């Protein structure tokens, strides 16, 4: 029954997120909001509403490890698995100027999460700080989105036209939003309840369940949006969705959860010493994307997916106290440095090639 609850929760969450994104996007279009702004805020944030529902529910319901694991795990898988699969589907070329600001902001938000959690708890004041930064980020996105080149606006417009029915009334769009929110609440309750029951029956920590099953499940909307956008050639949307979702997860999901949970959200030592640093390293791994004309090639996408598999394997081995956990743990102990070194090395090579080409 617990497994059925998890599956049902994932299905309901995915449907709820889809209804919410469609309804909110159509409402925003009818109000004359730029397609770019909708893509950077409504769509990117909307695909993260499952994380919001699950984290807030877990935090208020007394399972903080699931709440923290969901945010950290989702951010890791958004880059390694989802962006990796998107690059495998079609090499991602990023031209959008705002990505240059969003990626450093994502890295900064990841580091900030480690800082506010360093004392073992994210309290109300720290949650309010995170949520306040989200408001500032959204305002920045709206202002920047209005100045995007026409080809970028056309790309977002085409994507919205493909996902929203023409002629839909505002009332119907509002109904979709309400229905989506209701399904998110129900799906979150099913998923968290089932995941906690499975963790207890298997003797696995709530944190591991949050980092794996819950995180992967709540990231399904981002996966669908990113891969479909990549296959359509909408590379800016594919990358923007991942970066925007990661920012939303930290600033809004964790921020609101910390504000609503009595006494804040406790953060486990394992998350502080390993999982959050991995999340920071993964955020840094997106740096090569920010350069004009840069590309995430298929081999780089494959590398991201490989790291996702290695990370998940380590979590499973460690949680089950497998005999291979020690050796694998030693390899994973240097996970952050190699990933960062590869990313920065790629960045330097691309910069040198660009400069040589410009001089020639």
- Domain of residue 238 covers 2-359
Domain with 330 in it: what CATH number?
A: 1.20.1420.30
pLDDT reported for residue 127: 94
**Average pLDDT, 10 consecutive residues per value, the chain (360 residues):** 80 78 72 67 74 84 87 92 86 68 89 94 94 89 69 65 61 81 78 76 80 81 74 70 87 91 90 90 78 70 86 80 67 63 68 71
pLDDT reported for residue 351: 65
pLDDT reported for residue 294: 67
Task: Summarize pLDDT for 272-305 with one digit per residue, the tens.
Answer: 988 899 899 889 888 776 664 567 778 888 888 8
Query: Is the Cβ–Cβ distance between 205 and 319 less than 8 Å?
Result: yes
User: Which among 55, 77, 75 is positioned nearest to 66, based on CA atoms?
Assistant: 55
pLDDT reported for residue 219: 80
pTM over 0.85: no
pLDDT reported for residue 125: 93
Q: Got the DSSP string for 74-133?
A: HHHHIIIIIIHHHHHHS-EE---THHHHHHHHHHHHHHHHHHHHTTSEE-HHHHHHHHHH
pLDDT reported for residue 183: 83
pLDDT reported for residue 88: 87
Tally the domains of the chain.
1
């Amino acid at each position: 029954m617990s497994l059925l609850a998890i599956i049902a929760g994932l299905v309901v969450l995915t449907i709820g997120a889809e209804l919410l994104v469609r309804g909110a996007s159509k409402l925003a279009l009818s109000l004359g909001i730029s397609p770019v702004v909708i893509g950077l805020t409504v769509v990117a944030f909307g695909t993260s509403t499952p994380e919001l529902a699950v984290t807030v529910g877990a935090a208020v319901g007394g399972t903080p490890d699931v709440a923290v694991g969901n945010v950290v795990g989702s951010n890791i898988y958004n880059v390694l698995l989802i962006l990796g699969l998107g690059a495998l589907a079609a090499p991602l070329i990023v031209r959008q100027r705002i990505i240059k600001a969003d990626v450093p902001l994502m890295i900064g938000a990841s580091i900030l999460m480690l800082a506010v959690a360093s004392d073992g708890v994210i309290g109300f004041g720290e949650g309010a700080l995170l949520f306040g930064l989200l408001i500032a980020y959204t305002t920045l996105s709206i202002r920047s989105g209005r100045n995007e080149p026409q080809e970028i606006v056309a790309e977002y417009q085409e994507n919205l036209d493909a996902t929203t029915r023409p002629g839909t009334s505002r009332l119907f769009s509002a109904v979709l939003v309400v229905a989506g929110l209701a399904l998110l609440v129900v799906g979150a309750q099913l998923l968290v309840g089932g995941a906690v029951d499975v963790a207890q029956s298997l003797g696995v920590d709530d944190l591991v369940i949050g980092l794996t099953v819950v995180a992967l499940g709540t990231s399904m909307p981002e996966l669908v949006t990113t891969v479909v956008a990549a296959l359509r050639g909408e590379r800016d949307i594919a990358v923007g969705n991942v970066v925007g979702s990661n920012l939303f997860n930290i600033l809004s999901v964790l921020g609101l959860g910390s504000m609503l949970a009595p006494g804040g959200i406790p953060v486990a030592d394992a998350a502080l010493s390993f999982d959050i640093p991995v999340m920071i390293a993964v955020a840094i791994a997106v740096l090569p994307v920010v350069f004009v004309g840069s590309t995430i090639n298929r081999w780089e996408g494959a590398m991201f997916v490989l790291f996702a598999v290695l990370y998940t394997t380590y979590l499973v081995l460690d949680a089950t106290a497998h005999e291979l956990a020690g050796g694998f743990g030693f390899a994973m102990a240097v996970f952050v440095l190699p990933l960062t070194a590869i990313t920065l090395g790629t960045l330097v090579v691309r910069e040198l090639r660009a400069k040589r080409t410009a001089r020639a």
